[in-house]
Each structure stands twice: as structure tokens, then as C-alpha cells.
Structure 1
Amino acid sequence: MPAVVGAPASVSAQSAQPSCSFPFSATDATGTNVTVDSEPERVVALQPSAAQTMWEIDADGKVVGLPIGPTTSYLNGSESRTDVTGNDGFSTSIETVVSLEPDLVLAPNSVPNETVETLRNAGVTVYKFGLSGSIADVSNKTIRTGRLVGACGAADQRVASLNETVASIESATTGQDRPRVLYVMSGGYTPGNGTFIHEIITIAGGENIAATANITGYQQINPETVIQQDPQWIIAPDHMSTLPNRTAYAATTALEKDQTVRVDSNYVSQPAPRVVRPMETLAQTFHPDAFDAENVSSPSDGTNTAPGSQTTATTGPGFSVVAAVLAVLTLTGALFARR
């Protein structure tokens, strides 16, 4: 089912209807007006965030292909689908996707336009999403996904639940003193303004020192800036067993007081509905009394979450000052997690 290029669609993600009708057309991030003629029965998700969204809107039964590995293993039943990852472990296997004969392919922003065009030239309908730089973008992406695959009602309900959780967290943290926070990534990178991770930190009641230092997007942060801003908390994704071996980190209040927290690397790096999980963890870490008083609870993931995949806060032994100062970061390939 090839993509159809033409006039922009009148239906937007923000105005999705509770029931879906087809054909449906919408302009994607490549400027292509993509038409889905009938409700898709076979869907391929090219990146984990698209797969997570399909699971979250109870449309996982339609998914026939996705990247198989640590970034999707938390999705129940994902291992039974076809792996669409290329031989290099990162790119998309065009031949595999085409062989699955999908009615629709969902391509997050990290998928190269060349991959999208190659699939379209092979007669495959592909919708590419734009960059998700905010929680609102995640919500809109979820609604648009539901509209594309015929799960409008479930998508609307999931977004309503997400927004309710966000509102509860904001209510709990409003008026609280905001601790200075640094989110660390491989190679000294950190998320700044214009990233949904920045919004996670902000909504959770923290002050992202990268944004304060006028960092936009994902950039390396100067060690002198870290010392000057002196974060009171350091956050890291849970695939990092230790912090980078950087002297600047050792001089921070965060490490002097052993105030570090790890969040689920899949939930925090994939712009999809479960971003509320690390947000909830951080709010409870930064403002435990206010958070408990607000009685915030994130929506249940039902049977679609694999065991052992919940976001947890980790402080003290095992992620200590000594380990942070002495250990060498070994997971350099995780700088830009698959999304």
C-alpha cells in the first residue's frame, strides 16, 4: 500500500475522534501526505518508541515486526515478532520489512529519510513522526498513532491518563524549592532545552542545570559548568552501572551527599506514554513529602509490561561517590539510545 502524495490532511493529532474511519490521510514529518486506505492489520514499528506506543494503546496484536532486544524486551510478547534490525544492529533491514507485507510502517524521527524513501519505493506505506521535544509532542504522537492504526478510543484514553498523571505531579511539585539537577549520558552529553527529558525533570520539580546553562537539545556539558552550577542531584539511566569518571562530578553537592538516582533507560529515552514513570520517580525523589501528600499514581500498564521493568530510584551503595569517581564508563554506545 504505497504512500500517496497530495494536499495536506484536515485531521490533526490534536483533534482525533473517538472512533476511526478510513481512508485516513495526514502529512508526516517528510512533508508527504500519507493515506491509509483501510484499517491496518499488519504494522511494523521501526523503533522502540513506536512499539511501546502500540502496546500502550492495546494495538500490539497488529505488530508483526519491530527491533528485538533490550530496548523492547519489556513489552510482553515482543520477542515473538519478527526482528527488523539490520545486520549492523542499528539500521533497519529493508528486505525484512518488505517481506512482512505490512499495511503500515511507523517510523519515529530517528529513522533516516533515506530508509523511509526506500520503503516507499518498494510499495510500503510509511508514516514518519517528527521530533518529540515535549510531553505534548508525546501525547500528540500517541493520538496520531491511534488514528493511523484504528485505535482512536484507546489512544485518547491513554493520553487522558497520561495527562492526568502529569497534572497530579505538577500539582504536587508546584511551589516547592527546585533542586539543581544534572542528567548524565555517555560521553559527557546531557539533555537541555527542547527535549522531553528536560520536561520530565522540570515537571518533576527539578531545575535542569543544562537548560540553565543555555544548552539546547543533546550536547556535551563543560565540566566547569557542572562545577559552577553544582547540581544537588545527578540522574542517570539504569543501563549505566556507574557514573562517568569525571572530576567535575566528584566536586558536586550531589556526589558529596550521595544523591544520585537512576531511572529506567527505556522509559526515559523513548518518547512514548511511559515517560510518566521516570517523571513520577524523580518527583518522589525530589519532593517525597509533597508527592505522597498528593497521592500521585501513574496508570497501570496492565499485562503489557514484562516483569522487572519498573522504574526505580537508586541511591547509596552500588551507585556511590567512590564508584562514580573511580569507574570508567563502558557503555559509550548508549549515547543516543534507539528511540
Structure 2
Amino acid sequence: MKNKKILKTITLLMVFVLTFSILSGCIRKKENQNEKISDSNDTEAEVNYPMTVKDDFGNEVKIEKLPMRIISLAPSHTEILFKLGLGDRVVGVTNYCDFPKEAKEKEKIGDLMNINVEKIIELEPDLVIQYGEGKEEINNQIRQAGIALLSYEPESIQEVIDLIKEIGKITGAQRAAELTTIEMTSKRDYIIEKVKDAKKPKVFYEVWDDPLMAAGPGSFIDELITLAGGENIAKDAKGKYPQFSLEKLIERNPQVYLGAKEEGKTVEQIKTREGYEIIDAIKNDRVYLLEPNIISRPGPRIVDGLEIMAKTIHPELFK
């Protein structure tokens, strides 16, 4: 009996040792694979240069080498670069680039409407990334200085995700881009699933108050309202940010009234406007002012904007 106990103990020890050896081997193998993946990414980043990139406006731009000095001409692009761990490579930003806080410490080159081209050239960037098509005269000056210029204008969450991957490829930050976009996609899909069976209240988003302007079809806000489980009452308007009459607002009678936090605008101010007292959103105290830099800035935080929108429209689902 004693011999059997000893044999059983030895057998268990052997199983434990064998199992540990197998697990160790698997772990070591996975670590080696990860090292190979890392090496592969590094190699890929090296051999991809020079690379030719086509931006959102069909411009084919040759990137001669890994960009080490980058200027961002839009707050959203600045957020992407910092999110990908490229903050130390950013040498210039606009006056409105305020997130993350480190971006405020970078050299300022003006803003989208008043760009200091001389300052850009003085900073000797390898790459300039702007939002929208830009001004032809300024674009030509940047290109004539031998600086690569890329223009992007994402108009949906998916296009932001695609842009992050693109910037990751261009800058050699593929891994960070992949992790970022996986996180964004997961959050977006979770929220969509959360609200999919909820009743869709009628929503109005005020872009401007005098004249009254709405977030129309094709705008970021329109997509956020829809994905967050609401019905945008301006979804059939002409243009992304159309004028919207008081008569139509009253006729369509939104149940949720949204706007952006800004100086001089308050919920009480909106609620006391002439004619608004018969709107359901006013009567039921469902007027909200949201953080514009999160709600409408097409960068990595746009899924946080979606979450804010969903919690505002459907607070009952996020208790």
C-alpha cells in the first residue's frame, strides 16, 4: 500500500514536471513568435520606404523615409499622432491642438485658416498632415519646399479607424495603430449592440442658433445619433449643416435636444426661447449640451463621443 502511494506521488510529480515543461515551451515559443512579429514589423517599416501614399483627395505622395519630424494642421490628426506614441516626433501643431495636454507645448504654426508657411518650413518637417483639401497656394509652397503633404477628411467612425491604420503604416507605428483601432471597434460595436433594441427617440442637434442650423446627413453628429439609437430629425435635410426653420423644428418635435457646450450658451437659455415651450424635449427637460471636442472631433476619442451620445439619448440603458 505504501509503495502504491509512493508510486502515485512520483507519477503526479512527473505529470506536473511534464506539464510545466510543455507550458514553458509554449510560452517560450509564443515569445519567440512575438519577437519575430516585432522584427517583422520593424523590417517592414524599413523596407517600405520610399512608399507612395494616396490621400483622401487623390494626391499621390512619395514618403522617402520614416517621418521623424511631423507637423499636424488639425487637432484630430494631432490626437491620432499622440495616441500612436508619436508625440516626440511632432514638431508643430495648430493653435487649437489642445489634447493631450502635451500637444499644447509644441510649436504653433497658426490654424487651418491662417497657416504660417514660413514657420512650417523653418521647422524642417518630413511630413505635414492637414484636414481637408487645404488652400492650393499654401499646399504648393509646402510641396515646393520638398515637404511631403497629406490631406485627409474622414467623415465617419470607420473612416477615422482606417485613417489611424494609414498613419500607423506611414509612420512605422502599425502595432499601436492596430491596438488603437481594435479598442475603438470593440467600443463602437458594444454600444451599437447595447442600443439596438431600444425605441429610437427623435433627436435634434443644434450646430448654431442664429440662424438655427442642424447636424444633417453625412455629418459626424448624424452618424453618432443613429449609432447611439436615436433618429435625427434633420436626416433628410440638404447638406451636412443646413439651416433649420423653427416651424420645421416644432413640426418634427424632437424628444431630445442637443447642442455643444460653448461660451454664452446654456440649457436654460435654449429652454426659454420663444416658441420652444411646446417642444417635447423642452417640456420633458431633455436638453443637453455636450463636449464638442469629443463629440465632433474625428480622432481616436470619437468612440467616446458615441458613448456620450448613447448615454444621453438612452440613459436608462447605462445605469
Task: Indicate whether the TM-score tops 0.5.
Answer: yes
| Higher RCO structure (Cα 8 Å, ≥6 apart) | 1
Measure, in 2, the Cα distance between the counterparts of 1:154 and 1:99: 30
Question: Is residue 132 of structure 1 aligned with residue 154 of structure 2?
Answer: yes
Question: Is residue 200 of structure 1 aligned with residue 224 of structure 2?
Answer: yes
2:186 matched residue in structure 1: 164
Q: How does 1:46-195 map to 2 (within 5 A)?
A: 46-68=73-95, 71-85=96-110, 90-109=113-132, 111-129=134-152, 131-186=153-208, 187=210, 188-195=212-219
Output one character per residue of 1:16-54: Cα deviation in whole Å (capped at 9) or x when no partner: x96533222111234321111111110000111111111
Identity percentage over the alignment?
27
Q: 1:232 aligns with which of 255, 268, 272?
A: 255
Output one character per residue of 1:73-126: Cα deviation in whole Å (capped at 9) or x when no partner: 23121122100106xx84211111111000000011163343222211222110
Q: 2:286 aligns with which of 247, 259, 277?
A: 259
Larger Rg: 2
Structure 1 or 2: more helix by fraction? 2
1:325 matched residue in structure 2: none
CA RMSD after TM alignment:
2.1
Output one character per residue of 1:192-225: Cα deviation in whole Å (capped at 9) or x when no partner: 11122211111111111110x4343111112211
Measure, in 1, the Cα distance between the counterparts of 2:137 and 2:248: 38
Measure, in 2, the Cα distance between the counterparts of 1:263 and 1:255: 16
Contact 1:46 1:111 in 2 (8 A): no
Aligned residues: 270
Measure, in 1, the Cα distance between the counterparts of 2:228 and 2:137: 37
Q: Which runs of 5+ in 1 are unaligned?
A: 1-16, 293-339
Measure, in 2, the Cα distance between the counterparts of 1:248 and 1:203: 30
Contact 2:296 2:305 in 1 (8 A): no
CA distance 1:156–1:34, shift in 2 (3 Å): same
Contact 1:169 1:291 in 2 (8 A): no
CA distance 1:165–1:119, shift in 2 (3 Å): same
Q: TM-score, normalised by structure 1?
A: 0.74
Measure, in 1, the Cα distance between the counterparts of 2:316 and 2:51: 47
Output one character per residue of 1:163-193: Cα deviation in whole Å (capped at 9) or x when no partner: 1000000000001001111111124222211
Indicate the SS of the match to 1:273: coil
More displaced stretch, 164-173 vs 247-256: 247-256
Could you tell me which amino acid in structure 1 is paired with residue 129 of structure 2?
Answer: L
Could you tell me which amino acid in structure 1 is paired with residue 280 of structure 2?
Answer: T
More displaced stretch, 170-179 vs 183-192: 183-192
Q: Which runs of 5+ in 2 are unaligned?
A: 1-39
Q: 2:306 aligns with which of 276, 279, 292?
A: 279
Contact 1:224 1:248 in 2 (8 A): no
Contact 1:226 1:248 in 2 (8 A): no
